[in-house]
Amino acid sequence: MTTFFFWAFAVVVAGSALLAITRRNGVAAALWAASSFVGIAGVFVLLGAYFLAVVEVLVYAGAIMVLFLFVIMLLNLRETDLRVLEGPRMHVGGAILGALFLAGLVWTCRRSGLFEVPLEPKGPAGETGTVAAPLFRDYVLPFEIVSFLLLAAMVGAVLLTKRKLS
Amino acid sequence: MTVGHLVTLAGVLFTLGMLGVLSRRNILIILLSVELMLNAAALALVAFASYRGNLDGQVMVFFAIAVAAAEVAVGLALVIALFRIRVTVDADQVNLLKQ
């Protein structure tokens, strides 16, 4: 059952990502990327990372994609302004590069025996409480730094999009 | 489902994101592809965290998602600022420093 769902989610993730990077229309690309993120949330559920699955849907498929769609619609681009791929040379070169990269990765996984390790989620499941415990005990300083980072990003985004600095 | 399958899925996603960054000229799609690559890394981290049976990897993914949100906010603000001065989202036409 888990295997079936893994393959289903894997097809959703990879297929949506492929469609996202080949769409000419920006809105379609963003929506396909959102579909890919929902697929990743599904894989997180299979791995027992329930909290991260919810965060993935809320933050990625929700907040980040809405931000993308807002900007795409705000800029109101004509599709003729955008070239998609740089012609067949780019297609072939990209496919060869990607295939080489993937072949190297799979070869490394095979050599290190990662394909023989069946993955049954063990240890505590990643629920809100169990993730919060290390987050607020061992990683409390990075947590506070991230809050400052978000504040800085917010101020920076407002400043960058201001029409005139006064 | 083995660790290798999950790492391969993360690799496929990373490769697609990499190809998006390399082959597309629309800055918005390039940013979107960077998000795909970040997600591939998150997937690999969660897979290895599940394999090791502890939660440190999941905490790290939580931080990565927070940083990605900040990165997207600043990145899109930069795209808007660029669009104001050049009226384009074509990465090849952003060559002010070259001239």
The 10s digit of each residue's pLDDT in A71-82 is 988 887 665 445
Check residues A53 and B97 and name the one with the higher pLDDT.
Answer: A53
- Chain B hits for A133, CB-CB cut-off 8 Å, are 55
Q: In chain B, which among 29-58 make CB contacts under 8 A with chain A? A: 29, 31-33, 35-36, 39, 42-43, 46-47, 49-56, 58
**Inter-chain CB proximity A110 and B4 less than 8 Å:** yes
Residue B22 has pLDDT above 90, yes or no: no
Task: State whether residue A88 sits within 8 Å of chain B by CB.
Answer: no
Check residues A109 and A84 and name the one with the higher pLDDT.
Answer: A109
CB B42 within 8 Å of CB A121: no
User: Letter for the amino acid at A53?
Assistant: A
- Chain B hits for A150, CB-CB cut-off 8 Å, are 66, 69-70
Q: Specify the pTM.
A: 0.89
> Mutation test of the interface with chain A: which of B30, B34, B35, B86, choosing the one with the most A Cβ atoms within 10 A?
B35
pLDDT of residue B12: 93
Model confidence over B60-92: pLDDT tens digits?
Answer: 999 999 999 999 999 999 999 888 887 777 777
DSSP notation for chain B: -BHHHHHHHHHHHHHHHHHHHHH--BHHHHHHHHHHHHHHHHHHHHHHHHHHT-SHHHHHHHHHHHHHHHHHHHHHHHHHHHHHHH---BGGG--TTT-
Angle, vertex CA A111, rays to CA A109 and CA A117, nearest 5: 60
> Mutation test of the interface with chain A: which of B14, B36, B38, choosing the one with the most A Cβ atoms within 10 A?
B36
Task: State whether residue A139 sits within 8 Å of chain B by CB.
Answer: yes
| Average model confidence (pLDDT) across chain B | 88
- Chain B hits for A75, CB-CB cut-off 8 Å, are 28, 79-80, 83, 89
- Give me B43's structure tokens: 């997937």
| Average model confidence (pLDDT) across chain A | 86
